[in-house]
Structures are given as C-alpha cells and as structure tokens.
Amino acid sequence: MARNETEQVRHLQRTLYRTAKQSQAVKFYSLYDKVWRNDVLREAWRQVKANRGAPGVDNETIEGIESRGEEEGMLSRLQEQLRAKSYCFQPVRRVDIPKPKGGTRPLGIATVQDRVVQTAMKLVLEPIFEADFHPCSYGYRPQRDAKMASTAIRTDLYRGAWGVIEIDFRSYFTTIPHDKLIVLIKQRVVDGSMLRLIKQSLTVGIAYEGKVEPTTVGVPQGSPISPLYSNIYLNLLDQVWHKRGYPEKLGASLHRYADDAILVCRKSGAHALQAFEAIASRMGLTINREKTRITKLIEGFDFIGFQFVKRRSPKSGKQNVYIFPSKAAQRNIRRRIKYFTKRRAPIRPAEFVEQVNQTVRGWVNYFRHTNASQAFRSLQRFINTRFRRYLNLRHKGRGFGWKQYPNATLYARGMIYIGSGVIEYAR
C-alpha cells in the first residue's frame, strides 16, 4: 500500500511538472485540495519520519507519536483541519547552531504536525517551480546534487577561466522579503486557499527564550519547505543573470547551491561582482563584502565542501583543475567522529563501529568522485587509531594497541574500509 501511495504522489508530481513545463504562462487554480489528499499526507509523514528531527514548541516527538499508535489519528486530524481550512501553524522553535568558524546559525524547528503539512505543501508545489528553475542551481532540488555542481564547475573552469568570485549573502534565509516572494509564487499559483496556507507558513513567528517574535521577513532554516521558498526567490537572480547575457557579456558563469554561489570568471571580476550586487540589491538582498572575495584559480577556492585548485600535473606537466575535500570538510568529519568516540564514552564496540561507519560512509560517498585518495587514507588512519585506542582502553591494555589490534583485526570487527577515490570526471 505504501508503495502504491508513493507512486500515486509521483504520478501527481509528474502531471504538475509536465503541465507547468508547457508554458511559463500556465497558472494553477486548484492545488489546495491536493495537499490534504490521503496519499500526499501519508507520503509526507513517511518523509518526516525518515528525517527524524527534534521536537518543536509542543515537545511532541516522532517516537512519541509512533509509540502511542497515534499516526492514523494524527493524519486524520490534519486532513480534516486542512479540508475545513482551519489548520494553523505553530511558532517555530529557534535553536542556535555553532558555526565551525565561530558564531551561530539560527535553526527553526517546526512541530511534527507542521512538518507533515509543510512537506505535503512541498510535494505539491515543488514540481511546478522545478519547471522554472535554471540549470545553474543545484541545491535542494530533485535529481540534482553537489556532485553535479562540482563536476559542472570543474568543466567550466577549463573554459578559459582565471578565477572565481566567491559570493556570500548576508543572512539570506532571514532576509527574504515575503511580499516579493509571494509575487513570484503568484506567477504560478492563483489558488486562494493555497496562497493563504503559504502566507501563514511564512508568518508563524519564532519562539525564542520564552517569547514569540513575529516574522515579517525571512524563512526559518530547518523547515521542510524553506529550501523550496529560498530557491524560488533566488531563481529570479539566476534568470535575470542569464537573460541579460552576463555569462557572455561579462565572461562570468553563475553556479549556485542554495544560497552558496560562485561566479566563474573569464573577464573582469570587478565588473561581474558589481552587476551581481546590483541584481541582489534590487531583490532586497545584501552581499557580505567582507566574506565575498575574488580568487585566482591557482590559489584555490572552497565551495560546498570541495576545494578547487589549478596545479601542474606531476605526470603530464600540464595545468589541470583538481577537486579535493576541503580542509574545513576534513576537520569537520574528524570533529564529528571525536564527539561520539571520546575515550571514556560508555558504548559497546558494535555501537562504536556502527556510529563511525554511518558517519564516515556518507562523507566518503560525497567526495568519492574527486581527487580524494590522500584525504581518504588520512581519514582511515584517524578512525583506525580511534578504534584501536578505544579497544585497548576497554580491555585495559598498555600503549596504543598497535600489536593487539592491527588493521586486519579492526576490519574483521566491522570497521569501514574506505579505499581510494574514483575520479569520475574528465576534461
């Protein structure tokens, strides 16, 4: 039954996408009734469960709903409230997440029920706006990912580029103007009930330190539908950049992953940055000049966890563009592993291996297609050393356990073997 419902939702999405793709003039007058369809709500619930997440302002958890057997009752209530147009979103709980380079990033945690409704909205709205999104955008979109972004950038760097402009928006998610975002949404959506639900999702308020602050601008990071809203808004920048012919006139190609953006430059970087800043300013967005910089390719630059750099090949002697896991990405994975493998952490060996393998596997898959062999070997030594010391301490052995626990023993106990990178791109 679950598979049938998922396929029904996919069929709905394909229909919406094909209809939108026919013409940019196509408008949708009947969408709200699709949000509270049985199959859509159930698919939304499956996705929310898969993503897990912390509780919102009501302290309700996914585990609690499941343990009490209230899944069906919750979905029925949501469907009834949506059908009656009486559903109200609750304020988003704000949590400050530390940044690797200092400072914090505000994260908004919606209630479980709100996450289900927002995911249902996303299932209906996303295929419509996917028909409009520009190919230069890769983040939080179906069938597109960081690997596609990195390989497209590398290919672009070979086309006479001397460097890039690393763009940094100042507090992008919290500065998106609601009125301008709604204008863009109305270019496709004219269903009044759907528009009211969208507006309500934008103005729910932020619960922080015992107070609820009204939201008149911005979207909370962490909401299931926020990435879609952010892409809808920045797609205007993508489209304007290309309709004005700036990739050819200014020699600057735009590549964007959510609010991370770079311009690959073949001509003047200063002129390209000035044009980009002018478009952003008219959209009510601010470029952080302190963090935005023009970088030569031979110096290297980081983008979404990758380091791109131009170097002379030791084999051919030719100048090649290489992609490596960035230094920051390598520090971050070690920090995460250290967090749950502290020397005196009271966990069983099997749990230790499971946590390390799960964390490392996702990181390795992200960088597998790059020049990552050296980084992989370094990470392998790091996790082996952590596991070896853990086992040695657990059994009260002396030293670091090299003799007692050689690499073969660690792998026999289930520790992941990373292997080498597989270069999947070509000039």
**Residue pLDDT, tens place only, 129-175:** 999 999 999 999 999 999 999 999 999 999 999 999 999 999 999 99
pLDDT digits 0-9 by tens, 67-78: 999 999 999 999
Q: Rounded to 5 degrees, what are φ and ψ at 169?
A: -80, 140
Distance CA 78, CA 82 (A): 6
Residue 63, pLDDT > 50, answer yes
For residues 373 and 423, give the distance between their C-alpha atoms in angstroms, rounded to a whole number: 10
pLDDT in tens, 243-269: 999 999 999 999 999 999 999 999 999
pLDDT digits (tens, 9 = 90+) for 90-103: 999 999 887 766 66
In tens, the pLDDT along 312-323 reads: 988 888 889 999
What's residue 425's pLDDT? 52
Sheet with 301-303: list strands edge to edge: 301-303, 306-312, 319-325
CA angle 292, 294, 295 (to 5 degrees): 120
Helix, strand, coil shares, percent, the chain, to 5 = 50, 15, 35
Q: For 178-202, how does the pLDDT look when each residue is reduced to its tens digit (9 = 90+)?
A: 999 999 999 999 999 999 999 999 9
* Number of residues assigned to the chain: 427
CA-CA distances (angstroms) from residue 222 to 105, 119, 230, 351?
Answer: 11, 12, 12, 28
Please provide residue 206's backbone torsions phi and psi, each rounded to the nearest 5 degrees. -115, 120
Percent of the chain with pLDDT over 90: 82
> Mind listing the domains of the chain with CATH numbers?
1-132+178-216 (no CATH), 134-177+219-324 (3.30.70.270), 326-413 (no CATH)
Say how many Å lie between the first and final Cα of the chain, rounded. Answer: 46
The pTM (predicted TM-score) of the whole model is 0.93
Q: Taking Cα atoms as reference points, which of 311, 310, 297, 242 lies closest to residue 269?
A: 297
